[in-house]
Chain A
């Protein structure tokens, strides 16, 4: 049985879908069979970020309703043969999700794949609750800002009370990714430090990803940033994927790059 991981955040726009795409691809590049599922019914984005927009024929709602087989709906990634993708329905809304059908789909996926990654919708509504319902573990994406942290705190609270695993008396493993860190701002005290965030959320740290302008471009082109060997964010996602596959890699702190003479001088005196 494969591991079912829900990627959640509470707040929208923190990089949940980008993280899902990159972690999925990272695990596939590591050599493990992985499927990424877009659970954001009615607002699908993952297909675009993976560059598979024009390949979507059937979606997960059709699979759940028996209108298409899982084999028909699974799309193989063009960048790695270990990665598959299952699209969300764009024309329906969250109300089509039913627990029993989700359980069946997720169970079927976990028989075929070592890692099943579910991209949750933003917010804490029914769509979110259904995404976390049958998850073994959750990756929580936060940005170093108070609103993101409060919303993810709320999402964790719901995870700890409404997931099936918790109802069965077990615990859902929770891993934190701090995304879009600007090291300069952390250094000057204008941005929450990772320590502060970890103290508030009180869960295990999976990785830190620095703000990277290349991410937007990568998303627009449908080639996840992890494929760019020069990108710092890409390297961070590579390490995160390896940690999920069991490697013991220490957390790397995003560092300040002093560019030019002024920066170097500032560095000397700070």
Chain B
């Protein structure tokens, strides 16, 4: 025996029902449930050490980006301020300690890449 129940729906409830009906009829709901299941499984399977390693990598990338951005802005400002240096002017630039520090870093970086080739 079944009983008929009357439900008063708001406009918002009717809209949700219409949209859900469309999702069921087109078969999309199955896919959406699969997507939610995958997301949920990912959260379940992720551990604190995994997140730690991931964020460490993100931090490295962000740090490298920060250093590069700073250097590029500085270089642009200096280039705009100064004439293109002559060969002798180039040598004068090399006298600067910070320039030499940066160049030495680039050479070490090159070696670091070379070691992996």
Whether both chains belong to one complex is answered with no
